[in-house]
Amino acid sequence: TGKKKVQAAAQEAEKKSAVSDTLTKYKAILPLTRIYITMVGAVTLVGLLLGDELSQGLLALDPIRTMYGLELWRPFTAACFLGPPSIGWLMSAYYLFEYGSSLERAFGTAQHLLFLLIQIGFLSVCSAFFGQPFFAQSVITSMLHVLSRSMPNQKVKWLIFTVPYWTLPYGLMASDVLQAGNAGAALPHVLGILSGHVYYFHKNVWPKL
pLDDT of residue 4: 63
pLDDT at 51: 85
H-helix or E-strand spanning residue 161:
strand 161-164
pLDDT tens, residue by residue, 132-191: 999 999 999 999 999 998 888 888 877 677 888 888 889 889 888 988 888 888 999 999
- What is the spatial distance between Cα 196 and Cα 115, in angstroms, rounded to a whole number? 9
Which of 43, 115, 28 lies closest to 76, judged by CA?
A: 43
Residue 30 φ/ψ, nearest 5 degrees = -55, 145
pLDDT of 10: 55
CB 60 within 8 A of CB 50: no
Low pLDDT (below 70) residues in the chain: 1-18, 159
* pTM score: 0.85
Q: How many other CB atoms are found less than 10 A from the CB of residue 201?
A: 13
pLDDT score of 111: 92
Residue 171, number of CB atoms within 10 A of its CB:
15
